[in-house]
Amino acid sequence: MPGEWENFKNNLLQLLEEHNDIDIKRMGFPDDWGDRINSI
């Protein structure tokens, strides 16, 4: 279901942008997490 995945992806990116003070590395995301998400 590509449409639902797009919605989920956009919501996730928006959430991360809104809380960009969160230490992303400490959460276990790789440095290129944004690129990986966008390439899916």
Domain boundaries, the chain: 2-39
pTM for the whole structure: 0.40
Please give the structure tokens belonging to residue 31: 């440095």
pLDDT tens digits, one per residue of 5-21: 899 988 888 887 777 65
Q: Measured between alpha carbons, how far is 16 from 28 in angstroms, rounded to an integer?
A: 13
Q: 19 to each of 13, 14, 23, how far by Cα in Å?
A: 10, 9, 9
pLDDT average, residue stretch 11-34: 71
pLDDT average, residue stretch 8-37: 73
